[in-house]
């Protein structure tokens, strides 16, 4: 398994709109989406299309709103008291902020993995089977199949198949992060949100995560927040630059990193910001 870097120093004309796999599940559309923490507006009129089965990297300086936007895609932000939103975010054409929507079901369709891995203090098997169990899967054989399938998709099966009953906390940091990805995959999501998933990992473990993202995009839509610009360049199909709560520029990654159109994007990528 290898990753083809997106570093192509040519200014070819590429379509700005995402293509992905037309008709596949996991298409995200933000329409003039706004978000407030109390009186502070964190996002201003974000309009963005994210194609199904593609990797989109959200980049920008700290506090630019990229993580807020990421957490808005599975409504995780509303767990914080005093927040409110405007506009809408559509998942496969349906507004995820509509009143009657089942938020728990939404979070199964839109899985999330955080910067700091957070496995439950349970066995590897129980971590992965947790979601399906609370969703009513009881048959042992069915659970076994989900656990094995999810661990394989997270490229962890070969490393843990002989110790599924061991505590998840005995795994290395990189393995625990892949276990968290397997746990998200066990719910069979359409979208996977990754919030700096490799920022606390060593280069080898980071490479495994990046390879995994590259493989998983054949099956689901991935949105990743990263401060590592090289990582965004390596693994994403499209890159979106946020600054001061606004979407400044979005485009194909190879164009964004070689010939961005906006002066602010250029300044951020070349370290001439502020």
Partner 1 sequence: MSPDAPFRHFHDQLADLKRRLLEMSERAEALIDMSVEAFNDQDLEKAEAVIAADHDLDQMEIEIEEQAIELLALQQPMARDLRFIISAIKITSDLERVGDHAVNIAQAATRLIRQRSTPRPTPELEDMARRARQMLSEALDAFLRGDGALGRAVCLKDDQVDALHESLFRIQLTHMLADPRTINDSLDYLAVSRNLERVADLATNIGEDAVFVAEGKTIKHGAERRNS
For partner 1, give the closer residue by CB, 7 or 142: 7
How near is the Cβ of 66 to partner 1 at its closest, in Å? 17
For partner 1, give the closer residue by CB, 55 or 232: 232
How near is the Cβ of 233 to partner 1 at its closest, in Å? 7
How near is the Cβ of 137 to partner 1 at its closest, in Å? 45
For partner 1, give the closer residue by CB, 92 or 266: 266
For partner 1, give the closer residue by CB, 9 or 82: 9
Footprint of partner 1 (CB under 8 A): 7, 9-13, 229-230, 233, 257-260, 265-266, 269-272
Please state, in angstroms and rounded to a whole number, the distance separating the CA atoms of residues 225 and 143.
31
How near is the Cβ of 265 to partner 1 at its closest, in Å? 7
How near is the Cβ of 17 to partner 1 at its closest, in Å? 17
For partner 1, give the closer residue by CB, 95 or 258: 258
How near is the Cβ of 225 to partner 1 at its closest, in Å? 18
For partner 1, give the closer residue by CB, 123 or 231: 231
Shortest CA distance to 70 belongs to which of 237, 240, 249, 225? Answer: 225
């Amino acid at each position: 398994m290898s990753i083809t870097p997106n570093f192509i120093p040519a200014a070819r004309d590429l379509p700005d709109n995402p293509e992905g796999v037309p008709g596949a599940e996991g298409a995200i559309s933000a329409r003039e989406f706004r978000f407030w923490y109390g009186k502070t507006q964190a996002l201003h009129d974000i309009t963005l299309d994210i194609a199904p089965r593609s990797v989109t990297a959200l980049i920008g300086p700290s506090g630019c709103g990229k993580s807020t936007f990421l957490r808005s895609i599975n409504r995780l932000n509303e767990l914080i008291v005093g927040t409110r939103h405007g506009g809408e975010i559509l998942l496969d054409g349906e507004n995820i902020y509509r009143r009657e929507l089942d938020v728990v079901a939404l979070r199964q369709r839109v899985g999330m993995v955080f910067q700091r891995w957070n496995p439950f203090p349970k066995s590897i098997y129980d971590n992965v089977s947790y979601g399906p169990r609370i969703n009513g899967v009881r048959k042992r054989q069915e659970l076994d199949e989900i656990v094995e399938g999810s661990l394989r998709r997270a490229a962890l099966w070969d490393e843990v198949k002989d110790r599924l009953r061991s505590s998840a906390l005995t795994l290395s940091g990189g393995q625990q992060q892949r276990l968290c990805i397997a746990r998200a995959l066990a719910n069979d999501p359409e979208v996977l949100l990754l919030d700096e998933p490799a920022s606390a990992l060593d280069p080898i473990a980071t490479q495994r995560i990046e390879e995994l993202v590259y493989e998983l995009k054949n099956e689901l839509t991935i949105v990743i927040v990263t401060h590592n610009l090289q990582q965004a360049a390596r693994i994403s199909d499209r890159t979106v630059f946020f600054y001061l709560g606004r979407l400044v520029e979005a485009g194909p990654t190879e164009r964004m990193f070689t010939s961005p159109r906006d002066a602010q994007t250029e300044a951020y990528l070349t370290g001439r910001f502020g």
